[in-house]
Structure 1
């Protein structure tokens, strides 16, 4: 199990992009709830060095869902739930999230979305605050 490290007292903008990306990845991946709703056979979460977040979900029936967007397009992060379980909702400025489905009975679909809902477990308020700061820091580094 991967734990999110809380760095509230020593927050510095000098944290490198790579460290920021690694922390965001480990925080979300370590708390991702793959058993929420429809059980997943497998899932993959990647964040590239330039800030592309990619999530691929594999379902037991063969269906796959793929989500991708650049963190620089992030507009807001919200959380719905309790410490025990909930959802991190990442909202973008416009339809910036690529959504693709494969092997779906309804057909393969390519679309765009403005939010990505990530099911998580055991997320403390301090961890959410730090995650939000890291996301904002990464985004600000892209704007400056």
Structure 2
């Protein structure tokens, strides 16, 4: 009788475990990437640099990169990029109406390139990317930081 009870308990326990796992929330890499992309699109403040910048591109990719490209009215182009696995922390300087979001990396991990500059093209490395933002609350900043941390910790973003 004990063997019968044990054999009955095991499948019931497994079925119950599968049932609970069906309702578990597993956040995917794409969800974090999409959240960051939407946050940057919604909060980017083009007015902070509108007299200098013609257009910009700000992308967080699911293959593990954050890229920010600015096209100036005089033809100059600035490009910043870093691997999400190298992310360290964020800082924000400003108010809830407008400010700058600084994305810091662990070391000199930000690729900085300039093109069509009067003083010549420059390739260098940096430790942060500064992004002008507007209408951002502390909760938004915390969620952005959390998304970066989860992407960095997952280790999956480094795979193309």
User: Into which bin does the TM-score normalised by the smaller protein fall?
Assistant: 0.7 to 0.9
Gap regions ≥5 residues in structure 2: 1-23
Alpha-carbon RMSD across the aligned residues, in angstroms, is 1.6
1:75 to 76, 81, 88: 88
CA contact (8 A) 1:73 1:93 kept: yes
The equivalent residue for 1:55 is 68
1:65 to 48, 73, 78: 78
Deviations along 1:80-121, whole A, 9 cap, x unmatched? Answer: 111000111111011100000000011100000001111100
**Structure 1 position 30 matched with structure 2 position 46:** no
1:20 to 26, 32, 53: 32
**Paired residues, number:** 132
The equivalent residue for 1:97 is 110
Deviations along 1:6-52, whole A, 9 cap, x unmatched? Answer: xxxxxx97211011101001101221112214531010112221220
Distance 1:69 1:20 in 2: 17
DSSP 3-state at the match of 1:72: helix
TM-score under structure 1 normalisation? 0.86
